[in-house]
Amino acid sequence: MQIISAEVLVSSPGRNFVTLRLTTDDGLVGLGDATLNGRELAVVAYLTEHVVPLLLGRDAHRIEDTWQYLYRGAYWRRGPVTMAAISAVDTALWDLKARAAGLPLYQLLGGRSRVGCLTYGHASGADLPELFDSVRDHLEQGFRAIRIQTGIPGLGSVYGVASSANAAAGADGVTSRYDHEPARRSAAPVEEAWDTRAYLRHMPGVFEAVRNEFGPELPLLHDAHHRLTPIQAAKLGRSLEPFDLFWLEDVTPAENTAVLRRVREHTTTPLAIGEVFNTIWDYRELFEEQLVDYVRSPVTHAGGITPLRRIFDYASVYQIKSGVHGPTDISPVGLAASLHLGIAIPNFGIQEYMRHSAATDEVFRSGVTFVDGMLVPSEEPGLGVEYDDDVASRYEYAAAYLPVNRLLDGSVHDW
């Protein structure tokens, strides 16, 4: 099973995606997701200039060796661009191996451990009535766990809130009223204003209102998007304890994970982190000191299925579970890969799920199904996703940026 071609495909059905397609001498095709939101073409260059020439002629069965070769062999390790590129190669190789075996990929990862992967959806609103509508809409769609994000009095558009004016204008109008899409197609990033004190005052009331309206059982999640200091994060975690969150995500900036010790000392609200991590080493201190409860890394940014499986096994030693990143910037290829892994591992927790646009689903024909709030991978051999070149060619790449966050005095803040 020799690799005879490696194509880097760029298309933009509603939002930008980069896909790696490997073809072997026996005519098999494997896909990998190489999308890095807002920095897509850097990964295209990394793959095209530095990785594709090394893949041609290689034995596609040698997944572990190829991973080590690309990761260790480059000398320059880690980082989102490198790891997105390696992820795509690793995923495409697993897709090929499973297609060669004639089995859905999860069978090669140990087989099914559960009927499906429980998901959470994104509810948001500028105010409480809008938020409640969004929660109801998600419950009607079948979601059984819900992330809650709202506008903050005194601030304009806020990250994660679909109904804010700039979100409605985003992604060529393919974003539904309830699906926030943070990357905007524009020549420069949109800038948003942020006030942490106003946020900390507002959030407990929001969760109290949601609990009063929807009862005690519904699992609720919240994403703080790296915006808080350790002591602010501790305060938020503690103030939300009465509302029994499933998790509080990314409370502090990802570079300095040791600060989560301080947060943990003050709150029993479960913590999730890792959507911007790249390697198993990023988790070492967090696992060994039991500072987090859920791992957010997706297949697409942690270097692929091979290292993410290792991260989950390492997490399982500490009773830490998966909680994989799944916004629309993870393509249907990346999502399918997460689900094959999620259905197999013993310590699955939850899977984030934002529906892709109809245009995206037309380019990537995926056999994934959504049943009873759970996503179930396809029974087709491999990942169960096909890429349609003809449809893809209708959607040309357009530069898009994530917003930049500024404090009220104009200085740039974390997000």
End-to-end CA distance of the chain: 44
- Window 48-77: contact mask with ligand GCO (x via CB under 6 A): ------------------------------
Task: Tell me if residue 225 is catalytic.
Answer: yes
Tell the residue number behind the tokens 């807002």, with chain if given.
38
**Nearest residue to ligand GCO, scored by beta-carbon proximity:** 37
Cα–Cα distance measured from residue 85 to residue 69, given in angstroms and rounded to the nearest whole number: 13
- Binding site partner of 37, from Mg ion, ligand GCO, none, Cβ cut-off 5-8 A by kind: ligand GCO
Kindly report the number of other CB atoms within 10 A of residue 190's CB atom. Answer: 17
- Binding site partner of 232, from Mg ion, ligand GCO, none, Cβ cut-off 5-8 A by kind: none
Phi, psi of 410 (to 5 degrees): 95, -10
Member of 33, 95, 192, 329 binding ligand GCO (CB under 6 A): 329
Q: Is residue 327 a contact point for ligand GCO (CB under 6 A)?
A: yes
Smallest separation (angstroms) from ligand GCO to the CB of 250: 7
Which residues ranging from 199 to 238 are in contact with ligand GCO (CB under 6 A)? 223, 225
Q: Is residue 121 a contact point for ligand GCO (CB under 6 A)?
A: no
Which residues ranging from 165 to 184 are in contact with ligand GCO (CB under 6 A)? 182
* Total number of residues that touch Mg ion (CB under 5 A): 1
- Who contacts 45 (Cβ-Cβ below 8 Å, separation ≥6)? none
- Who contacts 73 (Cβ-Cβ below 8 Å, separation ≥6)? none
Cα–Cα distance measured from residue 304 to residue 309, given in angstroms and rounded to the nearest whole number: 9
Cα–Cα distance measured from residue 201 to residue 182, given in angstroms and rounded to the nearest whole number: 24
Task: Tell me if residue 159 is catalytic.
Answer: yes
Q: Which of 71, 106, 120, 159 is catalytic?
A: 159
Q: Is residue 223 a contact point for Mg ion (CB under 5 A)?
A: yes
Member of 40, 90, 95, 275 binding ligand GCO (CB under 6 A): 275
- Binding site partner of 331, from Mg ion, ligand GCO, none, Cβ cut-off 5-8 A by kind: none
Kindly report the number of other CB atoms within 10 A of residue 36's CB atom. Answer: 23
Nearer to ligand GCO, 180 or 264 (CB): 180
Residue 410 carries which DSSP code?
A: S
- Are the beta carbons of 20 and 47 closer than 8 angstroms? yes
Smallest separation (angstroms) from ligand GCO to the CB of 272: 9
Handedness of CA 154, 160, 161, 165 (dihedral sign): positive
CB burial string 207-226: b at 16+ within 10 A, e below: bebbbeebeeebbbbbbbbb
Nearer to ligand GCO, 334 or 384 (CB): 334
Q: Is residue 352 a contact point for ligand GCO (CB under 6 A)?
A: yes
**Nearest residue to Mg ion, scored by beta-carbon proximity:** 223
Nearer to ligand GCO, 23 or 328 (CB): 328
Catalytic site residues? 159, 225
- Which residue ranges make up the site for Mg ion (CB under 5 A)? 223
